Amino acid sequence: MNGVHDMGGMHGMGPIQKEKNELALHENWEWRVFALRRAMGAWGKWNIDVTRHEVELVPPAEYLRMGYSERQFAAFLVLLPKRGFITPEELEAGKPAPGYHVATPALTVEKAATLIAKGVPANRDVPVAPRFQAGQRVRARNINPVGHTRLPRYARGKLGVIHRDHGVFVFPDTNAHFLGEKPQHVYSVRFGSRELWGQQAAPQDSIYLDLWDDYLDSA
């Protein structure tokens, strides 16, 4: 979707502010949100693309006003009832509905340790032929889906060169909408900065994006 999250190249966002003590998360509640999202993710009722898209659906003014953790929390609160974990009434009341079923947590301490150590790989060991090879010229497609995509607006319609074939990975545009993994090759694609931004960019500079087969045409 052409949302405010797709902000590469936008102006007016203000200066980059470094902090004296650069903690990743400052407040305890942010850590709880961080962990709760992983613990609920362990149920397998969504995937990383679903959660990313839910964050993208936070209304733009809210998205920009909120800090990172608040944004994640807002999306999480939408996702939980959507996937049937809690009812809107339970969320409203702050307590389980009468006669509720007590589940057994999906994420145990042991499984949390495994999650930290192994992660959730997005590659797929399936035989899918690559459409492109290193050195080949490609043009990023000019697509404007209302759903999730990982092709930033600033690269659409632009010419690049395949730098490297990363292998076969889950395709976010379908996976985010529970439409299947549609595994396909992902490539590191090099775009000259001037191709993306015009003469104001330094001619020797470049931007590399990891892009799926479905985002590219040969050029």
Partner 1 sequence: MTTSRRDFLSAAVTAAGAALTPELHHTHDHEHQAVPSDLALRVKALESLLVEKGLVDRAALDTLIDAYEHKIGPRNGAHVVARAWADPAYKQRLLTNADAAIAELGYGGMQGEHMVVVENTPKVHNMIVCTLCSCYPWPVLGLPPVWYKSAPYRSRSVIDPRGVLRAFGLDLPADVAVRVWDRTAGWRYLVLPERPAGTAQLGEEQLAALVTRDSMVGVGKVAPPQVGVSA
Q: For residues 160 and 21, give the distance between their C-alpha atoms in angstroms, rounded to a whole number.
A: 39
Among 44, 98, 104, 126, binds partner 1 (CB under 8 A): 104
Please provide the DSSP assignment of 99-163 as one string: TPPPPPPS--HHHHHHHHHH----B-------S--TT-EEEE-----SS---S-GGGTT-EEEEE
Beta bridge partners of 27: none
Among 50, 161, 162, 196, binds partner 1 (CB under 8 A): 196
8-to-11, 74, 128 alpha-carbon distances in Å: 9, 23, 31
Residue 118-137 contact track with partner 1, rule CB under 8 A, x = bound:
xxxxxx--------------
H or E segment to which residue 165 belongs = strand 159-169
Residue 94 touches partner 1, criterion: CB under 8 A:
yes
Query: For the chain, what's the residue count?
Result: 219
The residues in 17-36 that bind partner 1, with binding defined as CB under 8 A, are 17-29, 31-36
Among 105, 145, 147, 157, binds partner 1 (CB under 8 A): 105
The residues in 131-170 that bind partner 1, with binding defined as CB under 8 A, are 150-152, 154, 166, 169-170
Among 159, 165, 197, 214, binds partner 1 (CB under 8 A): 197
**Residues near partner 1 (CB under 8 A), total:** 105
Cα-Cα end-to-end distance for the chain: 25
Residue 40 touches partner 1, criterion: CB under 8 A:
yes
Task: Please choose, out of 127-135, 173-181, 196-204, the segment that lies near partner 1 by the rule CB under 8 A.
Answer: 196-204
Residue 199 touches partner 1, criterion: CB under 8 A:
no
